[in-house]
Structure formats: structure tokens, C-alpha cells
Structure 1
Amino acid sequence: MTTTITQQNLLERDDLHFSLKFGYLGLGMGGCSIAAECANVKTNVKNGHFPYNGLLINTNNMDFEKINIINPNIEKLQIGNGKGAGRDLEAGEKAFTEEKEKVTGAIKKQFMDRDFIWIVAGLGGGTGTGSVIEAIKLLHSNGFKKRFGLILTLPRNKEGSTVISNALERLQRISKAMAGLGSIILVDNQKLYDKFIKENPNSTLADYLTYSNNFVSATLHELNVVTASFKPFGDSHFDSSEFENLLKTPGVLSLSKYSVKDSKIDLGNESSYVPEFKDSINNGILSDGYKLDNATRAAASVISNKPTAQRVFTLGFTDKIETIVDEIAPLAGEKPIATYVDEKARGVHFYTVFAGLNLPTRVNELVVENNRLTELQDNKDDEDDVLASLQTFKRKKKQVDSVDDLDSLLSGNSNTIDDFESESKKKQEDNYDPIEDM
């Protein structure tokens, strides 16, 4: 795929606008790293050099030293004893709740003028994973209802049973309250990691973390710019208010982008762009494995320079894009298709967003992996039980005729297996608030 509009040249331009003023609430080491990267976006736009701001909350004071902060509108807040939560959900949650008053004050001060807040947490650890539920409740009850969403990272398979089970426990609770939340963006670390290591096999884990954080930041910033900066070609438009409504849609959000050289698109040959456009939608940018036909909202934006727009953006072309989106998301109540002219664009760039989705198949894969690791642990415990039984074994006294009669070997065995179970329930009452029941 050829990407010709890059994060760098967008940041260097001074002729762009932003749809929404984002605020990023980072929780824990992973969440703070991503939130800082998103809030660190610096542009050449007059009176908009730092369009976003952030609040970073962590229990480990040393973790703050690992984060490069260039935006003066980013604040740090240490909670707990400053030594971290040690991947303990209860410890992370307790640290947050015990200092809720201080956290509430910091959030109101930092985000009072923001249009939309992103709660950012890496699922699997102690602080971010442990405090995310309380952070949701806090924003919901302090003036930010319907004005916030979540950015959550899914762990890789090799991160261990504690990390995976922590992530699944919180996802289970969040899934029950999705109707009361804005959009949830899932960042599949396994997906991004596999892509990165394939292209950069000699890089370090630190290189990957920098790459993934930049990837999330660039994706959100680019979408926020696209919806507000370019002149519509024709009557159709996906404007900032529609973008905001889409972000406020309950459920998971799937984002995709496809870029292609101007000369490659041949309107007489749909194979020059249609298959790759469809693949970009199904593969997503940050995660995949969604049932896109469940989307309640969808949108597609296509951008090129004026000469290319005059050649490509015909009625037949826009009808084809509209047909593809309609086939993928037939139940979406809104699905605008917009074409734009950017005089400085090189190439043609397709952006699609599908909102109101359920959790992806990747979550089920994590459940399967958790069960596998649990079974391995249970088998190990069985072996340990055999050794433990020897410590409690008492031999019956009997008449011994010779020393040879003492030669016997005894062992014991026990078997205990705890099954991983998950339950979900539906609330039917009209006035039911899922967040208050988290």
C-alpha cells in the first residue's frame, strides 16, 4: 500500500482544521504512553500548535520518567504510594478510588473545554486495568456523560496468563455497560506487533512500543483533520458534527484507511481499486475480526487533488463506494459517502469508519488462550499435588521381618481444575443506566 498523505506532512501544514478538541485521560503505564503520544501532536496551525491535551494518572512515579512530554497542556498525577500496582487489579482500583476527589478536580480542570474525552488504558496491568471502571463512572457522573469513549489495548498471546485474565475480566464488565458509553477503540497489540516484526525483525521492543503509540496517535489525528479541512467535491459531505455523533455511538469503532497512486485508479477496471478498498475495511487499522454488518453507523471519505478528483470522482465512482459500504453495513442508520479535494494531496485516500460494533473475534482468541494457560497451570498443580502428598503421607506400622521389606514406593494424587467462565446479562428497563451498575 502506498501512503502519500503522512502524519508528518499533515503536521507541517498550517492550512488545516480540527473537527473536535480531544482530551486524553491516560491510566497506567500503557495508557499514559499512548495518551501522551496522542496529546503531544504538534502542528503548524496558528493558535493550534497543540490542539489536544492530556492528564496522565499512574501509581508508579518512575514510569512518568519514561514518557517524553512536549505539550505544556499535559498534566501528570501520581496516585497510590508511587511504587506501582504490580499487575494487581484491586490495588490499581483502590489507589484510584482513595484519591477520587483529587482525580476529579484534575479531570474537571484539564478537560473543561474539551469536546470529547478518550479514556486510554492498556488492558492487562494493574493501574490502568484496575482503574478504568472507576474512571468511566467518574466521567459519567461529573459532567462528561455522552462525551467520552475508550481506547483500550488488547494484550499479545505471549504476555502471560495474569495479563490476559486481567484484560478479559475488565472487558467482561465493560461489555455489559457499552450501551452507556461512547465509542470504544480496541488496539490489538498482536496485530500491530506481527506487522511490525515482519517489517522490522531487527528492532527492539522499545521500537515497537514507539511505533504502536505513534500509529494510534496518527490515526486519530488524521481522521480528526480529514473531516474538517478539505473542500467537498459535490454535494455529499461527512462533516464535524457527523463525526462527533459517530464517536458518541455506543459500541466498538472500526477504522480503516487505503491509499493508492492517482494513476493506478482506472474507472473502467474496478479491480484497480475495489478489492484493496474492501480488504482495507475488513482488515482495519488497529484491530479486525468484526461483524461489520452489525454496524449502526458508517461513513466513507475519499480525498485527492483537484485534477484527480475531476477524473475519478464521477457519479459511477461514488455510487460504487456507496454500494460497497451499503453491502458491508446494510443496517447502518447513517452512512454518508463524501469526496474531498485537497490541493496538496498526492494519491487517492480512502477513509472508512464503522460504529456500534460488538467485540471482535480477537477477544474470543484471548479467552481460548487463557483457557489453554489455565489448563497448563492446572496440570502443573497436579504434579505439585503429588509431591505435596508425600509430605503428609503416614505409613501404617506393621511387622517387619527384614530390611528388604522396607523397600516400597508410595505416591498420592489429586486433581483440581477451575474452569474459566464468563456470564452476561441484559437489562430491559427503560431507565437502566449500565454505567451505574458496573
Structure 2
Amino acid sequence: MNNLFDRGDLSMSLKFGVLGLGMGGCSIASEIANIKTRITNKMTPYTGILINTNEVDLRKIPDSDNVKKYQLKGYEKGAGRDVEIGEKAFSEHKDEIAGLLKTHFSDREFVWVICGLGGGTGTGAVIEAIRLVYANGFAKRCGLILTLPRDKEGRQVLDNCLERLQKISQAMKGLGAILLTDNQKLYTEFLEEKPMASIGEYLDFSNKYIAKTLHEINVATASFNPVGGYHFDSSEFLNMLNTPGLISLSRISLRDNQLDADNESTYLPKIRDSISKGILSDGYNFKGAKKAAVSMIAPTGSSNRVFSMKFINNIEAIIEDFSPQADEKPVATYSDPKGEGVQIYSVFAGLPFPKRVSELIKKSEELNELVEEDVADDALSSLTLFSRKKTANEEIDVDSILGSKQELDFNTGNKVSSKSKGVDPFEFLNSK
């Protein structure tokens, strides 16, 4: 079955601007900005600004006409996972960055601030970047795309991530949607599918996967003719992106010739499972969702059969069960003359943080407890107890045996009395 990402003839709901911060954020933003279409005068629908300290990392990203790279001068070697350096580097250049926002994002309808949480530049800059974007024309038209680190990336990475999430959580009510990507989830799924692949291949996959996901949701709401009376249009999609809290995206493809609209077991369990697992992250409590929407696309020849009243009623029941408090939950159906199979996209907005954040907190606490423990250094203990044994061939120091007060001066090597012996440069080793 084909997917919407591979279709270059589809329209988009919103013109996105993507502001990438740090190596992770710039890589994702670059993938989004480099999405191409075959639509005249809309061949490059997205615009990117990439900001980083490390000059080498920024240079690795391919150049393109709709992407502006900006290196934070004075910090060419990077931030070294130091959040304070990342924040300072961004703040020192914010006037120039504000100019870039006005120049390159002047026609953008929504801006995503993107960073990989855990490093120095992106994690450090993200708070100041949000402030800058909001102050330069994008209040209520800005969201965050944040990646969560894997468990094995180290204590400093986890602590950096959680410290920034803590600040972001305190400001969530004033922010737009936050789209989390759980690298642990994507990494595990990729490892199961391609165990012999390299880390580089995984990183390339994950960056493209995030870009494809966002693009597919954006075109699903703008490209097809409605079947029936319900429609989830571009303005409603923008309202969801402006809803404070986390946003969860899900997708599933079903073969229309195997989907029996009268037999719930052929599709309901799969749709429920796709919502629970999500695309980029999972573990959400959907009961607290403020908004929900489903867009379903079927080939024109089978759309009337598939989208029966019973089928739509069952989908509505699923959404009601997942998010009873949502004030909006349209279930929209569309026909696609070039479609293959039934594509179902679900969006839930205004969610609390997922369980993965609690797991990261627990992992960080475990690692910090290990650091506080005294680790025994057996080799050092043995060295302190070491005493050289005299051999038969060694000259016997008669003076020391007889209790002479004479000792060697550490500075001259000459024997001196106890009253005039030299200063021992290793005296600190005698302190307890």
C-alpha cells in the first residue's frame, strides 16, 4: 500500500517553519525542510532555520535554498553538553536570530521549535528560543518537537533533559502543542527490525521518520474530498496545534479488500492498538485529552462501502472511550482516487506528559544514587599496604638497624640528622 508521504501531488494544511537547535534539532528540521512536492510553486513547502554552536556539525547538513544555517560565533567547538553554555551562546546572538525569524518565517503559518533534549546547545537554547519566537510574531502559532534520550545515554544527558522538561512543564499552559519523540521506543523498534544496521542508519531513519510523520498528518487534513458530512479541515488542525499540552499522533493502514465493515474484529482492535502505541511516543493517559480527531482515507471505489454508518459509529465509540473529556472529536472520512487501502490518522491534543518521562526520572535517580556510593578502589588499597622486601643481595643499612637518627635529604640525597632533614615533597601522602 502506498503512503501519503510518497505522494508528491498532495496539498498541505499549514505552511510550517522549523527552527532547529543543536545537532539533533538541526538534523530533524533539515529533514522536514527538505521535503519536496511536485506541485507548481509549492515544491519546497517548509522553511528551516538551523542554529548550532558546533561548526562541523552544522557543515555536515546539506545546503538548500529554503534552509538558513546560523552558527553561534565564539562557540565553534560546541557546548560540550553544558546547558548553561548553550543558553549563553543563543542569548548572545538573539538579536540576529530575531532578524532571521522575521526574514525567513514571514509567511509561515506555524513554527516548530525543535531540539534533542539532553545535549548542550539545543537543550540550553530551547527556553530562550521559545521566548524569541513568541515575541516575534508567533504567539499562539508555535509548538515544540522534542526528542527524549534513550536509557543508556548517560546520567548527564538524562539530567539535562529532565531539567529542561521541568521548566517547559511550568510554562505549558502558555505554549502550543508539544510533540515528543521517544528515542527509546524508535530505537527498540528499529533494532528488532534491523539488528545488523549501524547507529548512523538508525539516526538517519529516526530523523526522516519524524519528518514523514509530521508531513503525512499535514497533508491528510487538506488533500481529499469529504465523504459524508464531517470534515477535519486546516483551521481545526491549527486549533489542535495551538492547544497547550502534549500531542499524540497515530497512523494505521488497512487493506480495504480485507476490511469487513460489518465485522468489528477485522479493524477495531488494530485501530485501538495504533492509538495506544502512537507513532513517535506512547504511554499517554488519553482520558485528559482536550481535543481529538480522526481522518480516514479510502480509495474512491470502496469508500462508500467502508465508511458505513456502523463503521463510523464504531470509530466514534473508540474516540469517546479514549477521550471522554475532549471538547472536539470529529471523525472525518475522505475518498482518494489514487489511494490504496484505508489510511487512518488520529490526533489527540492537550495531553499530560507520558509515562516515559516518569521512567526517565526513575532512571536518573538510579544513576545519581550510584554516583553517591563510595566505590572501593582495590588497587589503591593494595598500594597503600605495599612494602618492599629486602633481598639477600641488597646492602644492609646498619644505621637504620641500630636506630641511627640519620636519614636521606630528599633534595640532596645526603645523610642528615633528624634536626636538619629535608622537606618531603610527598608528605601529603602521610595525611589520613
TM tier, shorter chain?
A: 0.7 to 0.9
In structure 2, the partner of 1:77 is 70
In structure 2, the partner of 1:5 is 3
Counterpart of 1:295 (choices 273, 289, 295) is 289
RMSD, aligned CA? 2.1
Q: Distance in 2 between matches of 1:261 and 1:308?
A: 11
**TM-score (normalizing by structure 1):** 0.85
1:197-232: CA deviation from partner (whole Å, max 9, x where unpaired): 110111111100110111111111111111011000
In structure 2, the partner of 1:124 is 118
1:377-426: CA deviation from partner (whole Å, max 9, x where unpaired): 112x45479979x99xxxxxxxxxx99xxxxxxx999xxxxxxxxxxxxx
Counterpart of 2:337 (choices 343, 357, 368) is 343
1:277-302: CA deviation from partner (whole Å, max 9, x where unpaired): 00000000000000001000000011
Q: Distance in 2 between matches of 1:260 and 1:246?
A: 26
In structure 2, the partner of 1:68 is 62
Q: Which amino acid aligns with 2:130?
A: I
Is the 1:80–1:96 Cα contact (8 Å) retained in structure 2? no
Q: Distance in 1 between matches of 2:83 and 2:338?
A: 48
What's the offset of the Cα at 1:168? 0.3
Q: Are positions 1:96 and 2:90 aligned together?
A: yes
Q: Which runs of 5+ in 1 are unaligned?
A: 392-401, 404-410, 414-438
Q: Distance in 2 between matches of 1:161 and 1:302?
A: 42
1:39-438 → structure 2 map (5 Å cutoff): 39-69=33-63, 71-81=64-74, 82-379=76-373, 381=374, 383=376
Q: Which amino acid aligns with 1:280?
A: S
Distance 1:412 1:187, change over 3 A: farther
Is the 2:4–2:219 Cα contact (8 Å) retained in structure 1? no
Counterpart of 2:32 (choices 25, 28, 38) is 38
| Count of residues paired in the alignment | 388
Is the 1:386–1:412 Cα contact (8 Å) retained in structure 2? no
1:225-263: CA deviation from partner (whole Å, max 9, x where unpaired): 110110000110000000010111000000000101111
Q: Which amino acid aligns with 1:283?
A: K
Report the structure number with the largest CA radius of gyration: 2
What's the offset of the Cα at 1:141? 1.7
Q: Distance in 2 between matches of 1:185 and 1:412?
A: 56
Which moved further from structure 2: 119-128 or 367-376? 367-376
Q: Distance in 1 between matches of 2:83 and 2:249?
A: 30
Secondary structure of the equivalent of 1:133? helix
**TM-score (normalizing by structure 2):** 0.87
Is the 1:124–1:162 Cα contact (8 Å) retained in structure 2? yes
In structure 2, the partner of 1:435 is none
Is the 1:4–1:259 Cα contact (8 Å) retained in structure 2? no
Q: Distance in 1 between matches of 2:251 and 2:286?
A: 16
Secondary structure of the equivalent of 1:143? helix
Secondary structure of the equivalent of 1:256? strand
Distance 1:59 1:385, change over 3 A: farther
- Percent sequence identity is 53
Q: Which amino acid aligns with 2:316?
A: E
Please list every run of at least 4 consecutive aligned residues from structure 1 whose deviation after the TM superposition is greater than 3 angstroms.
381-388
Q: Distance in 1 between matches of 2:197 and 2:379?
A: 44
In structure 2, the partner of 1:399 is none
Q: Which runs of 5+ in 2 are unaligned?
A: 385-401, 404-429
Distance 1:316 1:112, change over 3 A: same
Secondary structure of the equivalent of 1:45? coil
